[in-house]
Amino acid sequence: MSESPPRGRATPRLIGVGVGPGDPELVTVRAVRVLREADLVLVPVLAAGQPEPGRAESVVRAYTGMAERVVFALSDRGGVTRRRAAAWEAAAARVERAFAAGAETVAFATIGDPNVYSTFTYLAQTVRDRVAEVRVETVPGITAMQDLAARSGTVLTEGTESLALVTLTAGVEPFRAALAAHDTVVAYKFGPVAGDAVAAAKDAGRLDDAVYGARLGLPDEDVRPAGELGGPVPYLATLLLPARRTTRGGKL
């Protein structure tokens, strides 16, 4: 299926660009440059015809008018569904067509960091299967974990503390184990098992300091103590349980 580019052409590059959690100011200077210089910028959306922009799309549009939507399925519950695999294939085919039409650089904008629970990982692999000579690069981005720490005034790690990052799509047990073994624990994709996760934090005696965050940097941002949660929680919500610190700062 892959075609070699014409001789003398630059190696085609696919660049995963982390655009941070949603606030357009939380992208790096490099991300802005790469988005502006790319021959094609792709942004993932849940549905091609959706009226509102996707979260990555909103950030990209703050810096360049050129952003083309590709449809990605959000959920990774239950592993790789046929629908998700079909979405990656369609996006990879779009990248392949762009290279065939002469594009040297295709950027794919991804919320957060392209190497942390990102759909870019799957897209890159699928493109590699189609375009053997492609060079894949990434530009790091601010993660939700870091943004929630900043917005809530919570130190993630200091001194010799450790940090565990888990996703609750793996169930609550890895989260419970992390609570037992680590100083600071961050859980992503907290929505579907919010009740169980809050119970696990409470069982560990760590609910009092826990911080909840969703829609970070968006107009309807929600950051508050996890103990105050009630009602449904969005899929992409984050739970942050900081290390227990009996003394602080200069008085450690």
Alpha-carbon distance of 10 to 221, in angstroms, equals: 43
Structure token pair of residue 42: 């792709």
In the complex, minimum distance from the CB of residue 146 to a copy of itself, in angstroms, rounded to a whole number: 4
- Cβ(99)–Cβ(134) under 8 Å? yes
How big is the CA angle at 112 (ends 108 and 114), to the nearest 5 degrees? Answer: 45
Please, which residue, 79 or 231, has the CB nearer to a copy of itself? 79
Taking the complex as a whole, how short is the minimal distance between the CB of residue 192 and a copy of itself, in angstroms?
Answer: 13
Q: Which residue, 36 or 102, is less far from a copy of itself as judged by CB?
A: 36
Smallest separation, CB 204 to a copy of itself (Å)? 16
Q: Which stretch of DSSP H or E encloses residue 236?
A: none
- Which residues would be at the binding site for a copy of itself (CB under 8 A)? 20, 23-30, 32-33, 76, 79-80, 85, 88-89, 113-118, 121-122, 124-126, 128-129, 136-143, 146-147, 149-150, 153-167, 169-170, 174, 177-178, 181-182, 248-252
Cβ 205 to a copy of itself shortest distance, Å: 20
Return d(Cα 225, Cα 237) in angstroms, integer: 13
Question: What is the rounded CA–CA span in Å between residue 241 and residue 198?
Answer: 11
CB 188 within 8 A of CB 117: yes
- Return d(Cα 15, Cα 109) in angstroms, integer: 8
Residue whose CB is less far from a copy of itself, 26 or 67: 26
Choice between 8 and 132, CB closer to a copy of itself: 132
Nearer to a copy of itself, 185 or 214 (CB): 185
CB of 200 to a copy of itself, least distance (A): 15
Total number of residues shown for the chain = 252
Pairing of strands 211-214, 184-188: unpaired
Tell the smallest beta-carbon distance from residue 66 to a copy of itself (Å). Answer: 19
- 50 vs 162, which CB is nearer to a copy of itself? 162
